Amino acid sequence: MKVFHQISLLRDELKQARQAGKRIGFVPTMGNLHAAHIELVKKAQQTNDVVVCSIFVNGLQFNDSSDLDKYPRTLQADIDRLEVAGCDYLFNPDDAEMYPNGTEVQTRVICPTMTGVLCGAARPGHFDGVTTVVSKLFNIVQPDEAVFGLKDYQQLAVIRRMVEDLCMPICITAMETHREGDGLAMSSRNGFITATERPKVVILSQQLNGIREAVQSGREDFSQLENEAIQAIEQAGFKVDYFSICCSKTLQRVDDKTEAITVLGAMFTEGARLIDNLSFSRVR
Ligand code: PAF
């Protein structure tokens, strides 16, 4: 795998690949790679001739500096994993390369819908940081296809919207959430879950599944269902950030007409904020 830290050198390399008629797949990450990231790389390999992975811990999307400071940085282990997976290129820029004029005056890409709710309500400016860095990365790599995990459902929806609104010629592919044996969604933040908490955090995915069963068996008292899930999570010892039954496309609150439903939840453990979601269609 070739590793690039500079935009210009990566561009030269990818220009040659493009001129040779190669299709370019892209997997943007912030590093601390685990099995779910490698699945994204493998997915990109299936439909592209070369795959670029990026590792950049994007300060612009963190609204809490202590969260940014403690974000796990495991570059050598990440490189080893990508090598084993057969990834072709790694783009690993530093802050000065990505934000040469500083983040304060960086031009922003802002998606005005879907970004102020759920994770966006708790983390103001988070999605502006995501859409800004992802559009920069898309401009640098110019991929034919980019692969994202469904675990960050809201991020995926916002990125799809950005690509549509800005006419970016990139196919956005979503990968199912990769889960541990008990259902916990894989995440770089799982390393912050304590041993005592670990058996209990599965409550989040259990409540998502419980809501699917309830809605598909005809319950429509959505607020009550949300409250019951929140109570169950609190009883397991966790603080709930949000737990919301939404329309899959708009992320607005579900209503009587919504057919495609996504339930999204976020809760706090001692050292981490965990998110998860589940999509399903309503059975009439
Ligand atoms: O999902 C992530 O890891 C990040 O939000 C992304 C898409 C790489 C942008 O920094």
* Contact partners, residue 243, CB within 8 Å, separation at least 6: 207, 226, 229, 230, 233, 263, 264, 265, 266, 267
Cβ neighbors of 42 (< 8 A, separation 6 or more) are 85
Confidence of residue 182 (pLDDT cuts 50, 70, 90): very high
Report residue 2's pLDDT band, with 50, 70 and 90 as the boundaries: very high
Q: What is the CATH number of domain 2-175?
A: 3.40.50.620
Q: What is the mean pLDDT of the chain?
A: 97
Nearest atom, ligand 1, residue 28 CA: 8
Rg (CA), the chain: 19
Nearest to 53 by CA among 33, 26, 75: 26
Gap from CA of 3 to ligand 1 centroid (Å): 19
- Sequence-distant (6+) residues with CB within 8 A of 102 are none
Predicted local distance difference test score (pLDDT) of residue 143:
98
Sequence ranges of the domains in the chain: 2-175, 188-279
Q: What is the pLDDT of residues 224-260, one digit of tens each?
A: 999 999 999 999 999 999 999 999 999 999 998 899 9
Measure the CA–CA gap between 13 and 195, rounded to whole angstroms: 45
pLDDT at 284 over 80: no
Q: What percent of the chain lies above the pLDDT cut of 90?
A: 96
Tell me how many degrees the CA angle 83-276-81 measures, rounded to the nearest 5: 5
Q: 152 in ligand 1 pocket by Cβ < 6 Å?
A: yes
The HSE-up count of residue 244 (CA atoms within 13 Å, CB side) is: 19
Ligand 1 probe mutation, 152, 163, 172, 173, most atoms within 8 A of CB: 152
The rounded Å distance from CA 173 to ligand 1 centre is 14
pLDDT band at 118 (very low <50, low <70, confident <90, very high): very high
For the four alpha carbons of 137, 141, 144 and 150, in that order, the dihedral sign comes to negative
Predicted confidence at residue 31, as pLDDT, reads: 98
Dig out the tokens for 146 from the structure.
């980019």
What CATH number has the domain spanning 188-279?
3.30.1300.10
CA of residue 140 to ligand 1 center, whole Å: 15
Token representation of residue 85: 């997976």
d(CA 110, CA 166): 11
Does ligand 1 lie within 6 Å of residue 133's CB atom? Answer: yes
C-beta of 158 in contact with ligand 1 (< 6 A) = no
Q: Is the dihedral angle over the CA atoms 116, 205, 200, 182 positive or is it negative?
A: negative
Cβ of 55 closer than 6 Å to ligand 1, yes or no, is no
Q: Is the CB of 150 under 6 A from ligand 1?
A: no
Taking the centre of ligand 1 as the mean of its atom positions, its distance from the CA of residue 29, in whole angstroms, is 5
Which residues are marked as active site? 37
d(CA 99, CA 136): 10
Is 40 a pocket residue for ligand 1 (Cβ < 6 Å)? no
pLDDT tens per residue across span 135-158: 999 999 999 999 999 999 999 999
pLDDT at 122: 86
| CB of 64 closer than 8 Å to CB of 181 | no
Nearest Cα residue to atom 5 of ligand 1 = 130
User: DSSP letter at 179?
Assistant: B
3-state SS, residue 60: helix
Alpha helices per DSSP H over 145-257: 153-165, 203-216, 222-235
Give the nearest ligand 1 atom to 61 CA.
10
CB contact set of 132 (below 8 Å; sequence gap of 6+): 60, 106, 107, 108, 109, 110
CA distances, 257 to each of 244, 246, 284 (Å): 17, 12, 11
Is 154 close to ligand 1, i.e. is its CB under 6 Å away? no
